[in-house]
């Protein structure tokens, strides 16, 4: 997370604006991003010198914090019913407590991961490539058929590449027969 712009730099930005410099000139002179300069000047216009101090109370996540009761409800129901998914457990809790604000699916799955109630996602195995181990052992061939060129004629050709070295073979280009 980026650091808050120090108060002396904020004061300097306001001074430069009062001297008549544009926001982009101030940004270049102070090495502060243009969006930060605009924010500092807007806050100074709206709140005066008090608007220059950083808003530390607004730092951090602004998301809904769930109560321990909600977390415990989702975790316990998953333990008691390991085959139930989010939708079934959500509907059970919502039917019993309709006024509660319940978290979304991703949040609940994060809780379940924390308590080892769901399997970790597995990555599909990478196929083992049987690549060539020396030049001229394997060639890759790709056909292009009836491709229109700039003058409107249609042509066909083959791309032939040595798999080991990546060297192309230059076969002839010919009209379709």
- Residues 111-170: tens digit of each pLDDT: 998 889 988 777 888 877 778 888 888 888 888 888 888 888 888 878 888 888 888 887
pTM of the model: 0.39
pLDDT given for residue 86 in this prediction: 92
pLDDT given for residue 143 in this prediction: 85
Taking every pair of C-alpha atoms in the chain, what is the biggest distance, in angstroms? 82
What letter does residue 126 receive in the DSSP assignment?
P
Q: Is the confidence at residue 47, as pLDDT, over 80?
A: yes
Classify each residue of 34-67 as buried b or exposed e, where b means 16 or more C-beta atoms within 10 Å of its C-beta.
eebbeebbebbeeeeeebbeeeeeeeeeeeeebe
As a whole number, the mean pLDDT across the chain is 86
**Spatial contact of 122 and 145, defined as CB atoms under 8 Å apart:** no
pLDDT given for residue 61 in this prediction: 56
Q: Which two tokens stand for residue 8?
A: 């002396």
């Amino acid at each position: 997370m980026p650091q808050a712009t120090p108060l002396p730099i904020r004061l300097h930005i306001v001074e430069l604006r009062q001297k008549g410099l544009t926001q982009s000139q101030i940004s270049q002179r102070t090495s502060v991003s243009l969006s930060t300069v605009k924010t500092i000047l807007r806050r100074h216009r709206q709140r005066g010198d008090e608007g220059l101090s950083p808003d530390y109370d607004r730092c951090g996540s602004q998301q809904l914090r769930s109560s321990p009761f909600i977390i415990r409800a989702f975790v316990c129901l998953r333990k008691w019913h390991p085959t139930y998914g989010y939708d079934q457990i959500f509907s059970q809790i919502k039917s019993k407590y309709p006024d509660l604000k319940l978290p979304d699916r991703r949040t609940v799955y994060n809780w379940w991961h924390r308590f080892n109630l769901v399997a970790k996602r597995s990555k599909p195995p990478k196929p083992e490539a049987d690549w060539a181990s020396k030049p001229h052992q394997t060639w890759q061939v790709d056909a292009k058929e009836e491709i229109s060129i700039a003058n409107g004629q249609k042509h066909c050709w083959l791309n032939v590449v040595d798999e080991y070295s990546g060297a192309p073979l230059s076969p002839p280009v010919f009209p379709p027969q």
